[in-house]
Amino acid sequence: MAREKRLKFRRSRGDLIYSVVTYIILGFLFLITLYPLYFVVIASFSDPALVNSGQIVLLPKGLDFRGYERIFELDRVWHGYLMSIYYTLFGTLFNLFLTFTIAYVLTRKDFMARNFFMKFLMLTMFFGGGLIPTFILVQDLGLYDTPLTLIIYGGVSVYNVIVTKSTLENTIPYEMYEAAAIDGCGQIKFFVQFVLPLSKAIIAVMALFYAVGHWNDFMNALIYTNSEELQPLQLVLRNILIEGEMLANENLDPDLALLRQQQAELMKYGLIVVASIPLLVAYPFIQKFFTQGIMIGSVKG
Amino acid sequence: MFGKKKDAGGSAVLYASKKKKFSERLRFSFSHHYELYLLALPTLIYVFIFCYIPIYGLQMAFQNFSIAKGFGESEWVGFKHFIKFFNSYQFWPTLWNTVSLSFYSLIAGFFPPIILALLLHHVKARKFGKVVQMVTYAPHFISVVVLASMLRLMLSPSSGVINTMIEFFGGEEVDFMGSANLFPHIYVWSGVWQGMGWGSIIYLSALCGISPELYEAAKMDGAGEFQRILHVDIPGLMPTIVTMLILNSGQIMNVGMQKVLLLQTPLNLETSEIISTYVYKSGILSARYSYSAAVGLFQSVVNVIMLVTVNTISRKVSENSLW
């Protein structure tokens, strides 16, 4: 005990400097990551004049909820919200189906075509047809500008298949299948009755990975759809925030023009918050799952 | 990560069947594992349609493709579109922008996750570490539209916070989004901000895999915290670092097109027009399909060459490789 203490003491100066530096760097990274997010939130309900003149730093000032009031009146934002939920829900289900069936098949060591299937999938990680041939294909299939495109496009990520496969290999012992086979259980039945119920954690992780991908996507919507009523939230946001469509299209009443001008910035901050709310709310709960997902992939892959 | 692993197991049936002819084994496999083929089928069909048919469709790069005529009827023109691209005034700027933006991202973005992982791994106050982790992972989930909007709002010359601060400290107003010189920095450092925490997870898990005995041994030899990082952590991370380096280099031509597109303004186009945005604009917006497919194919081929080269070098130098 005493010796240990002395050792600790002897080393402590270099280590102390090290710890202090560690905390300073980590603290800095913490602040620099958090502050922009925090700023958007407080700026979204502060007086826009104060925001523009740089007087909002730590706390919101001159509370002003008109930005949010305006956002609530915007039908296209809410319609986009609904479309995003729709694409995310069905898209994720489709993803899970494609990912787990193939991942299970790839875990079966006695399956002859296993390596061939694996290579067939992995080749697509390194080479593909690219944007234009895919665009032509989507048109030829008659999927262009249909809601189905955004559900099935990007149906399976090979990286996720590999992660799922390694996880299944570790959670479902091969002996279990053999035992079930002796009892006359077929492979599909085994998959549905044993593999899936035992893989709830990895299903959750994959569902979250895919769902975030669908929720945040705007590019596929931009490329593969044309009608306004098919636009998911992110594309609506992009049109309002980046292309500045709002000011031109939304309001024709000249009396309100000045007010609109003021509120435009306020609304932009508000829209960012509204679009991120589902993730902001869910994030603390799901963060653990995400971390697990990536860990599994990196350790066992 | 994708290293070859010999199948350790394998049932007696498989062994017996290995001696048989391929066709017999195949028939055996179909009759005994038809349910597995059935399960695999949807995904294989999907991948075939959405990944392999577009590869077949790349022939349009060598044709004067028109949608009305289709692949069979369109006239073959050889390398005409490639030559046109190589001779066009966009070729060198877009190639340079793509490669420089990519290298800049790779270099700037490579070390922060490693440093963050090393710091987090040794932080004594667990709670504090957890909070830092949670916050630094968060930006990864922000959509690219939201990120680009935040940048545009905060960097705006008239009303952005950054400019207000610059003016407060006596500086001159900077038009960030309208400056071709600043675009690479905005693109790259916002990427570092967004990806640092998430990127650190893979290194953190590699660090967790280092045997505690190594730390004990280092302690016994009188190594301080910093020396432990130098002599235990970094050697332990090397395989992961090399793997990540190879994987990233295979993406050297794949600059995140979405963010570039969202941050593009007419004023910064000089540095922000990259190959993939060029493909998008000329292909989807202007419907020059064959030409854009050729440009895209050029990009993919460069990617594959990069990946193979780096992998070969790495296999010779460090014995770490993807295949």
DSSP designation for B61: G
The tally of domains found in chain B comes to: 1
Which chain B residues in 132-161 lie under 8 Å from chain A, judged by CB atoms?
Answer: 132-139, 141-146, 148-150, 152-154, 158-159, 161
Highest mean pLDDT among B85-94, B234-243, B244-253: B85-94
Residue B97 lies in a domain: yes
Cite the beta strand spans of chain B per DSSP E: 63-64, 75-76
CA distance A28 to B64: 56
Q: Are B132 and A134 a contacting pair at CB < 8 A?
A: no
Average pLDDT of chain B to the nearest whole number: 86
- Residue A199, Cβ density class (10 Å: 0-12 exposed, 13-18 middle, ≥19 buried): buried
Residue B183 lies in a domain: yes
- Of the pLDDT bands very low, low, confident and very high (cuts 50, 70, 90), residue B37 is very high
Q: Are A294 and B205 a contacting pair at CB < 8 A?
A: yes
Mean pLDDT value across residues A111-120? 91
Structure tokens at A239: 């049109």
Structure tokens at A258: 């000045």
Confidence (pLDDT) at A80: 93
Confidence (pLDDT) at A90: 97
Residue B52 lies in a domain: no
Contact of A297 with A166, CB cutoff 8 Å: yes
Say whether pLDDT at B115 is over 80: yes
- Of the pLDDT bands very low, low, confident and very high (cuts 50, 70, 90), residue A140 is very high
A67-300 placed in CATH 2.40.50.1020:
no
Residue B200 lies in a domain: yes
CA distance A46 to A38: 13
Instruction: Kindly tell me the number of DSSP H helices and DSSP E strands found in chain B.
Output: 18, 2
Structure tokens at B53: 């048919």
Residue B7 main-chain phi, psi, to 5 deg: -65, 120
Of the given ranges (A127-141, A162-176, B37-51), which has the lowest mean pLDDT? A162-176
Confidence (pLDDT) at A10: 52
Per residue in B155-213, pLDDT (tens digit) is 888 777 888 888 888 888 888 888 889 999 999 999 999 999 988 988 888 888 888 88
Q: How many other CB atoms are found less than 10 A from the CB of residue A269? A: 25
Confidence (pLDDT) at A300: 40
**CATH number, position B302:** 1.10.3720.10
Confidence (pLDDT) at B263: 93
Q: Are B136 and A15 a contacting pair at CB < 8 A?
A: no
Contact of A298 with B1, CB cutoff 8 Å: yes
Query: Which residues neighbour A160 within 8 Å (Cβ) at sequence distance 6 or greater?
Result: A95, A99, A206, A209, A210
- Of the pLDDT bands very low, low, confident and very high (cuts 50, 70, 90), residue B277 is very high
Contact of B60 with B70, CB cutoff 8 Å: no
Query: Which residues neighbour A27 within 8 Å (Cβ) at sequence distance 6 or greater?
Result: none
Residue B65 lies in a domain: no
Q: Are B149 and A241 a contacting pair at CB < 8 A?
A: yes
High-pLDDT (> 70) share of chain B, %: 93
Per residue in B2-17, pLDDT (tens digit) is 444 444 444 445 555 4
Q: Does B50 touch chain A (CB under 8 A)?
A: yes
Per residue in A205-218, pLDDT (tens digit) is 889 889 989 999 99
Residue B239 lies in a domain: yes
Of the given ranges (A11-20, B46-55, B275-284), which has the lowest mean pLDDT? A11-20
CA distance B61 to B76: 9
Q: Name the residue type at position A64.
A: D
Closest CA to B76 of B295, B299, B287, B290: B290
For residue B287, give its domain range. 83-318
Question: How far does CA A74 lie from the centroid of its chain?
Answer: 25
Q: Name the residue type at position A32.
A: I
- Of the pLDDT bands very low, low, confident and very high (cuts 50, 70, 90), residue A83 is very high
Q: How many other CB atoms are found less than 10 A from the CB of residue B92? A: 10
Q: Where are the domains of chain A?
A: 2-65, 67-300
Residue B23 lies in a domain: no
